[in-house]
Copies of this chain bind each other. A is one copy, B any other.
Amino acid sequence: MFLRNCWYAAGFSDDFGHALTARTFLGEAVVIYRTEKGAPIALEDRCAHRRLPLSMGRLDGDRVECAYHGLVYDHSGACIKIPGQTSVPQGARVRAYPVLDRHTYLWIWMGNPRLADPALIPDFSAIDTAGERTSRIRLHLRCNYLLTVDNLLDLSHLAYVHATTTGSPALAEEAVVKVVRVGDAVLIKRWQRNIDPSPTFQQFGGFKGRVNLWQVSEYRAPCYIRVSYGSCDADVPVHEDDDIWSHGAWGFKVLHGLIPETERTTHQFRTVTIHPSQASAAAIAEFKRQCDLIINEDREVFAIQQEALDADPRGLSAWDLRSTATIGADQGLIQARRLLRQRLDAETALPAAASA
């Protein structure tokens, strides 16, 4: 069960060129390519005739020719040629999905195309404006996307999963956590004041003594997540709504674009941005290495959680928090799931014409 009437990150914009690229999104086969002028196109990846993936075929200019019997489709998904006959039957077409480039990502709309308003694309402009992109990574996750959302909205896990880099016991034990609903977003603000810096912050922030450390996770349904990590000397009067790059603080912003591949697999496209004034080229190389280590530590956790859900004789899914203990740090993700559930319910209630 996926939200359909929303934009999902299909990848980074430069993942796609004038070539047929096959993907599975929300359980559906999609072929993506750019026209000769660079416009992105996304079509159902199944020929309407014998269901061979169009991605096995070839581009003829901006048109797609099927590899089996040569049917040709234009960028709207309409079949415009069937070899050996002069007319094309009504209904010979494949589905076309709205796609567009923004903030270095390619966004795709898997629901009703008439509702695909570009203004609904989430604000990832920190990538465009904030500075250097230090760690762009594509991951194939062996889990339902909700497990990844859960992870990013409860950053107490840094203390355990990422203890060699961004984590330390104080992050779980001494955090003051505030959860706020702001419009259609849930914000989870975690503050640890006057603690020893965890390894990554120590190394790159160059602190002499104790610090304030904070993380702000911002969630929008279904799976847009922006997280800011900040740090400054313990005696700097930093306020929770300040930008991380004020007051001489050291920190970085992380943007996560997720798209479900299936109920049990997910694509994740992550970008970390750091302010150019805050790191030498050498430091950035090492920082990037740590970012990649961290996300692969999480990836392993997700796969094992999904295996545990799948092996459960009761048939649990990632939606099930039944029979698990709820802890204080779950408040953010509980609100996020409530918000997502409302969106899903609203979509299910749509007239068929609007939701199809």
Residue of A48, A154, A156, A325 with most partner-chain B CB within 10 A = A325
Interface pair B50/A159, CB less than 8 Å apart: no
Which residue of the partner chain, among B65, B83, B177, B313, contacts A173 with CB atoms under 8 Å? Answer: B83
Interface pair A308/B156, CB less than 8 Å apart: no
Cα distance A172–B312 in the bound complex, in angstroms: 44
Q: Quick one: CB contact mask for A178-221 with B, threshold 8 Å, 1 for yes?
A: 00000000000000000000000000000000000000000000
Interface pair A304/B69, CB less than 8 Å apart: no
Contacting residues, chain B, for A340 (C-beta < 8 A): none
Interface pair B326/A68, CB less than 8 Å apart: no
Interface pair A156/B329, CB less than 8 Å apart: no
Contacting residues, chain B, for A328 (C-beta < 8 A): 82, 84-85
Q: A160-B67, A328-B84 are in contact. Are A313 and B48 (CB under 8 A)?
A: no
Question: Does A305 count as interface, using CB distance less than 8 angstroms?
Answer: yes
Which range contains the number of A residues in contact with the other chain? 35 or more
Cα distance A91–B52 in the bound complex, in angstroms: 49
Contacting residues, chain B, for A56 (C-beta < 8 A): 304
Interface pair B27/A325, CB less than 8 Å apart: no
A355 vs chain B, min Cβ distance (A): 16
Interface pair B53/A308, CB less than 8 Å apart: yes
Interface pair B48/A305, CB less than 8 Å apart: no
Question: Does A49 count as interface, using CB distance less than 8 angstroms?
Answer: yes
Q: Quick one: CB contact mask for A308-349 with B, threshold 8 Å, 1 for yes?
A: 110111001000000011111110000000000000000000
Q: Quick one: CB contact mask for A157-180 with B, threshold 8 Å, 1 for yes?
A: 101110000000100111101000
Interface pair A67/B161, CB less than 8 Å apart: yes
A30 vs chain B, min Cβ distance (A): 12
Q: Quick one: CB contact mask for A50-66 with B, threshold 8 Å, 1 for yes?
A: 11110010000000011
A261 vs chain B, min Cβ distance (A): 11
Q: A51-B309, A83-B173 are in contact. Are A160 and B324 (CB under 8 A)?
A: no
Question: Does A299 count as interface, using CB distance less than 8 angstroms?
Answer: no
Interface pair B160/A327, CB less than 8 Å apart: no
Contacting residues, chain B, for A238 (C-beta < 8 A): none
Cα distance A53–B308 in the bound complex, in angstroms: 7
Question: Does A9 count as interface, using CB distance less than 8 angstroms?
Answer: no
Chain A interfacial positions (CB closer than 8 Å to B): 24, 27-29, 46, 48-53, 56, 65-71, 79, 82-85, 89, 91-92, 150, 154, 156-157, 159-161, 169, 172-175, 177, 301, 304-305, 308-309, 311-313, 316, 324-330
23 A-B interface contacts by CB (under 8 A): A27-B313, A28-B313, A49-B324, A49-B326, A49-B330, A50-B150, A50-B305, A51-B305, A51-B312, A52-B301, A52-B304, A67-B160, A68-B157, A68-B161, A69-B156, A70-B169, A70-B172, A71-B325, A84-B173, A84-B329, A89-B325, A89-B326, A91-B325
